[in-house]
Amino acid sequence: MQSKTFIQFRRKLGTLVTMLLLLGLTYTASHAQDTLTLQRAIAIALEKNYSIRIAEKQVDIAINDNTRGNAGFLPVVAAAVQKNYSSSHLRQEFFNALQAPLNQAGVNNNNSNSGVTLNWTIFDGLGMFIARDRLNQLVEAGRTNAKITIENTVADVSAAYYEIIRQYQRVRALRNALDISKDRLELAQAFYQVGTGSKVDFINAQVDYNGDTAAFIAQEQVLRNSKIDLNTLLSRNLTDDFVIPDTIITRRDVPAEELRQSMLAQNPNLVYAAQQRRLADLTIKALNAQQYPQVDLLGGFNYNTTNNQAGFGVRQARNDVWSYGVRVSVNIFDGFNQRRRIQDARINALITEDQESDIRNQLLSTFDRTYLNYRNSLQLVALEEANFKLARQNVEIAFERYRVGNSTSYEFREVQRNTVAAETRLIEAEYNAKLAEIELLRLSSNLLEEVGARL
């Protein structure tokens, strides 16, 4: 069942990659070559991300190990060939005085031994069937682990992508603030030169302009670093530059209960915990199987030759030996170690049950906290949008008042700071809402299905 589910997942993943690549190519063909969409970024990650590639190779290893021979169903056949040579110097005296002593040098002898042996276990307490079930379960666990890696990578790429948008929006906000500071500096300089403004106001305007410039430069560095982070996830040249859209669009209709039920049914971390529990149960069965007798079929063929040049005994010989039989072995007493191993396995099975329950509890807690954060962030977005509109109007009014001399530079600077702060809060609220949306989709294992059309 899990294998069929993973095959469907891989098919959906392959379709998604193809769709994302086509969307990326279409978008790239109609825009500048360095434009990077989220769909294209995810397609690159699915193809090149090292964590995904490692996880998929681990699945290949598990599939390669899942054979009847590795489970113990097939016989073991071994062949060996051995050739021995000897060179002797014989010195022999006999009790029979009539027999002359033997003194012979360079006596060369050789013999060879070759054979084939067969050992086939035909009964081991059903251990081989349990081993095959365990190998199948390991394949499914590897596929689930790969799915966890894929979904986490897609979530990381999405978060890194929107982090770039957030940092870009901050750069844009600081650029707007810098433009206002420049206008204020020019007005303060003009007022000072014509004698209607003080030098203090002029110097303060210079200081504020320099401070805004420094903040703008630092924010541009943060933006470049966030691009490096995304390139790292995409496993491509870290210095590759690109442009992305400058807005964050957040869903306002995330179905909480539907996603919660989906999480409990198909979250890969929860599925993986259940698979570990089943592996623990199979370990108990395998250890119990070792308490039964083991029956092996034995067979072999051995071929020996001898070539003796000593001058006595057998000069040449050849032996062909066929052998076959049955061996029954049983563990009668091993210092209670088998019983101890079974007890440990049962305790470990209880541990995996607790781990599965703990993961389910943690997922529910994370889901509820994330959804609460999502709703609060949406409320903050609506609030900060209205607040930012008022702040922009206020800065326009304050600038006009400062221009005509009805406001001090300190008052104008405060209004400017409030505007930057309001825009920053709006950017943060939009970003937090988007991150919460991504996390809800990841927890419910719906991120891959939603990424092409929604994010």
**Contacts of residue 38, Cβ cutoff 8 Å, sequence gap at least 6:** 157, 158, 161, 244, 451, 455
First to last CA, the chain: 30
Buried b (16+ CB within 10 A) or exposed e, 304-316: eebebeeeeeeee
**One domain, residues 175 and 311:** no
**What sign does the dihedral 442-447-448-452 (CA atoms) show?**
negative
Measured CA to CA, the distance from residue 263 to residue 440 in angstroms comes to: 9
Residue whose pair of structure tokens reads 């020996």 in the numeric block: 304
**One domain, residues 209 and 351:** yes
**One domain, residues 111 and 130:** no
Task: Record the tokens describing residue 62, joined without a space.
Answer: 């598990």
How many Cβ atoms from other residues are within 10 Å of residue 175's Cβ? 14
- 257 inside domain: yes
CB 175 within 8 A of CB 209: no
- Phi and psi at residue 14, in whole multiples of 5°? -65, -40
* DSSP codes of every residue in 331-361: ---STTHHHHHHHHHHHHHHHHHHHHHHHHH
Where in the sequence is the domain holding 310, given as residue range(s)? 77-122+295-329
Measured CA to CA, the distance from residue 113 to residue 120 in angstroms comes to: 23
* Last residue of one domain, picked from the residues 312, 329, 346: 329
Measured CA to CA, the distance from residue 219 to residue 172 in angstroms comes to: 10
The total domain count for the chain is 2
What's residue 446's pLDDT?
93
**One domain, residues 357 and 415:** yes
* Last residue of one domain, picked from the residues 329, 350, 377: 329
**One domain, residues 323 and 404:** no
Task: Record the tokens describing residue 222, joined without a space.
Answer: 């943060």
Q: Where are the alpha helices (DSSP H) in 31-49?
A: 38-48
What's residue 26's pLDDT?
45
H/E stretch holding 35 reads: none
- 214 inside domain: yes
Residue whose pair of structure tokens reads 């434009």 in the numeric block: 35
**One domain, residues 318 and 402:** no
**One domain, residues 391 and 325:** no
| Long-range Cβ pairs for the range 405-412 (8 Å, 24+) | 405/191, 405/196, 408/201, 409/184, 409/188, 409/201, 409/204, 409/205, 410/204, 412/184
What's residue 336's pLDDT?
94
- 318 inside domain: yes
**One domain, residues 313 and 347:** no
- 71 inside domain: no
- 72 inside domain: no
Measured CA to CA, the distance from residue 177 to residue 209 in angstroms comes to: 9
H/E stretch holding 121 reads: strand 102-123
**One domain, residues 18 and 95:** no
* Last residue of one domain, picked from the residues 307, 329, 351: 329
Measured CA to CA, the distance from residue 399 to residue 411 in angstroms comes to: 10
What's residue 154's pLDDT?
96
C-alpha neighbours within 13 Å on the C-beta side of residue 32: 8
**One domain, residues 256 and 342:** yes
Any idea what DSSP says for residue 34?
A: T
Q: Give the chain's residues under pLDDT 70.
A: 1-33, 88-90, 92, 97, 100, 102-107, 309-315, 452-455
**One domain, residues 404 and 353:** yes
- 429 inside domain: yes
**Contacts of residue 231, Cβ cutoff 8 Å, sequence gap at least 6:** 237, 238, 239, 240
- 81 inside domain: yes
Cα–Cα separations (whole angstroms), residue 241 to 21, 35, 217, 225, 419 = 19, 9, 18, 11, 30
**One domain, residues 260 and 343:** yes
Residue 141: which CATH number?
Answer: 1.20.1600.10
